[in-house]
């Protein structure tokens, strides 16, 4: 059983809490990811909230505390906005790190813990302006309705971003995904969407916003989603907090290990710059990285979305190692090997994407 309306070929890492990613070919089929193909990343059970009685509370370092229902938020007081945004989990492509050294207790995500949707809702900044941040406020924390037993101690899911990011127009409170009302597994009735930041900051089932002088002190901000040195141990404030996404790319079509006919083969995948950067160039090699050609970049979906890319190669019979590497607009290139990236929680594998394709003959 797959569940939550996902495609039958979805790869389910965990049924409860529900953690699942699409197969490579499904993710590579469209620039805007259909709902049944969008990965799901949950740290606890999916809450089923009643939109009629649901309230958003805004408090902490504000001039005016707010408590708003869905009608008050979406009824016209705040201007409606829409944005195409790629979400990417910090654990995306962890399988490549696990291949270097095991990471017990963490799901072996492939390249599918990222996806792109057209989100509809309101700007977070407009709601913050209504509450009036006090001068001491530096961070905005989001608290969801889901209680995670994975956290130490068990607690509601929460995260924070810097206030200066929260006030930017691209940061949304979203009630719609791809033109339809948000579904429960993706955070209904309202979630944050924080473009350019790791998915963990886009808090689902949002019920509380707290303005603070310091980052959120809950488990998912202070202990999880931190990049540890290879010999580090997870502990509050150990290592560095993750925020901006690093440049990344992988191959989606053909599948790793696919059998193809020798001759022309189309290769395609995604590249995502993260932060405020965009994709500058995507190189692809069909000979394990000895020679490179530039891929064609497909639909430009705006500043907060991935670029799908494609290129055609003439494959000789035998095993062909296909490699992708992306450059961002800051001149940053993905690291070549996952070996140098290994970390105890398995975050930020942005090593060059590699697959092997077998041409028979
Ligand atoms: N309330 C809540 N929000 C959450 C999570 C969660 O477990 N609970 N998971 C986070 C993580 S780690 C990611 S990557 C994204 C995934 O969003 P999606 O499930 O809609 O793909 O949601 C984030 N928001
Ligand atoms: Mo995530």
Tokens describing residue 80: 């409606």
286 shares a domain with 326: yes
For 44, phi then psi, to 5°, come to: -160, -175
Distance in angstroms (rounded) separating the CA atoms of residues 161 and 214: 10
pLDDT classification of 351: cutoffs 50, 70, 90 = very high
Residue nearest to atom 18 of ligand 1 (CA): 40
Domain end marker among 198, 222, 241: 241
Tokens describing residue 227: 């990049």
Angle CA(141)–CA(110)–CA(246) in degrees, nearest 5? 50
CATH code, domain carrying 347: 2.60.40.650
124 shares a domain with 70: yes
Rounded to the nearest whole angstrom, what is the distance from the C-alpha of residue 281 to the centroid of ligand 1? Answer: 29
Q: Does any domain span residue 6?
A: no
Distance in angstroms (rounded) separating the CA atoms of residues 270 and 285: 15
283 shares a domain with 226: no
Tell me the HSE value of 347 on the side-chain side, using a 13 A CA sphere: 24
Q: Does any domain span residue 44?
A: yes
259 shares a domain with 348: yes
Q: Does any domain span residue 133?
A: yes
222 shares a domain with 130: yes
CATH code, domain carrying 142: 3.90.420.10
Q: Which ligand is nearest to the CA of 193?
A: 1
Report yes or no on whether pTM surpasses 0.95.
Answer: yes
196 shares a domain with 99: yes
Percent of the chain residues past pLDDT 90, beyond the cut: 98
Q: How many domains does the chain have?
A: 2
257 shares a domain with 233: no
**Mean pLDDT calculated for residue range 49-56:** 97
Domain end marker among 241, 256, 279: 241
Residue with tokens 């910090």: 90
Closest ligand 1 atom, residue 192 Cα: 24
pLDDT for residue 3: 82
pLDDT classification of 199: cutoffs 50, 70, 90 = very high
Element containing residue 353 per DSSP (H, E): strand 353-359
Distance in angstroms (rounded) separating the CA atoms of residues 160 and 227: 16
191 shares a domain with 68: yes
pLDDT tens digits, 90-124: 999 999 999 999 999 999 999 999 999 999 999 99
pLDDT for residue 361: 73
202 shares a domain with 253: no
Q: For CA atoms 273, 351, 17, 9, give the dihedral sign.
A: positive
Ligand 1 pocket by Cβ (under 6 Å): 38-43, 87, 89, 144, 146, 157, 186, 199-200, 202-205
| Distances in whole angstroms, Cα of residue 204 to Cα of each of 20, 111, 258, 269, 309 | 16, 22, 36, 27, 30
Residue nearest to atom 10 of ligand 1 (CA): 200
Assess contact for 282 and 268: CB atoms under 8 A: no
Range of the domain at 317: 248-359
261 shares a domain with 222: no
Strand arrangement of the beta sheet that strand 259-260 belongs to? 259-260, 353-359, 318-328, 279-285, 293-294
Domain end marker among 241, 270, 303: 241
Q: Does any domain span residue 227?
A: yes
Q: Does any domain span residue 150?
A: yes
Residue nearest to atom 19 of ligand 1 (CA): 40
Burial of 50 (0-12, 13-18, 19+ CB in 10 A): exposed
Asked if the model's pLDDT at residue 1 lies above 50, the reply is no
Q: Does any domain span residue 186?
A: yes
pLDDT for residue 2: 58
pLDDT for residue 197: 98
Q: Does any domain span residue 2?
A: no
166 shares a domain with 36: yes
331: left (phi over 0), alpha (psi -120 to 50) or beta: left
223 shares a domain with 115: yes
Closest ligand 1 atom, residue 41 Cα: 19
Average confidence score pLDDT of the chain: 97
Q: Does any domain span residue 349?
A: yes
């Amino acid at each position: 059983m797959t569940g939550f309306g996902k495609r039958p070929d979805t790869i389910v890492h965990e049924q409860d809490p529900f953690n699942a990613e699409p197969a490579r070919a499904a993710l590579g089929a469209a620039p805007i990811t259909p709902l049944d193909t969008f990965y799901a990343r949950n740290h606890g059970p999916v809450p089923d909230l009643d939109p009629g009685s649901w309230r958003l509370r805004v408090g902490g370092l504000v001039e005016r505390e707010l408590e708003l229902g869905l009608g008050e938020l979406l009824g016209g007081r705040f201007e409606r906005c829409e944005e195409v945004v790629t979400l990417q989990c910090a654990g995306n492509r962890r399988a490549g790190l696990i291949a270097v050294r095991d990471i017990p207790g963490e799901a072996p995500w492939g390249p599918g813990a990222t996806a792109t949707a057209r989100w509809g809702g309101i700007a977070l900044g407009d709601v913050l302006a209504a509450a009036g941040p006090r001068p001491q406020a530096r961070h905005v924390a989001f608290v969801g309705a889901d209680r995670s037993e994975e956290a130490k101690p068990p607690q509601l899911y929460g995260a924070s971003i810097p206030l200066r990011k929260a006030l930017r127009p691209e940061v949304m409170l979203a009630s719609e995904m791809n033109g339809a009302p948000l579904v429960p597994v993706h955070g209904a009735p309202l979630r944050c969407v924080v473009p350019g930041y790791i998915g963990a900051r886009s808090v689902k089932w949002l019920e509380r916003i707290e303005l603070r002088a310091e980052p959120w002190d809950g488990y998912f901000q202070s202990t999880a989603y931190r990049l540890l040195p290879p010999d580090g141990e997870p502990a509050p404030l150990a290592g560095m907090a993750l925020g901006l996404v690093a440049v990344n790319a992988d191959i989606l079509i053909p599948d790793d290990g696919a059998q193809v006919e020798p001759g022309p083969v189309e290769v395609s995948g995604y590249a995502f710059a993260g932060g405020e950067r965009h994709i500058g160039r995507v190189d692809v090699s069909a000979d394990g990285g000895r020679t490179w050609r530039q891929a064609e970049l497909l639909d430009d979906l705006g500043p907060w979305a991935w670029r799908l890319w494609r290129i055609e190669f003439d494959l000789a019979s035998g095993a062909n190692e296909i490699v992708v590497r992306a450059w961002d607009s800051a001149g940053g290139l993905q690291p070549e090997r996952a070996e140098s990236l290994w970390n105890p929680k398995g975050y930020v594998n942005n090593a060059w994407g590699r697959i092997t394709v077998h041409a028979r003959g």
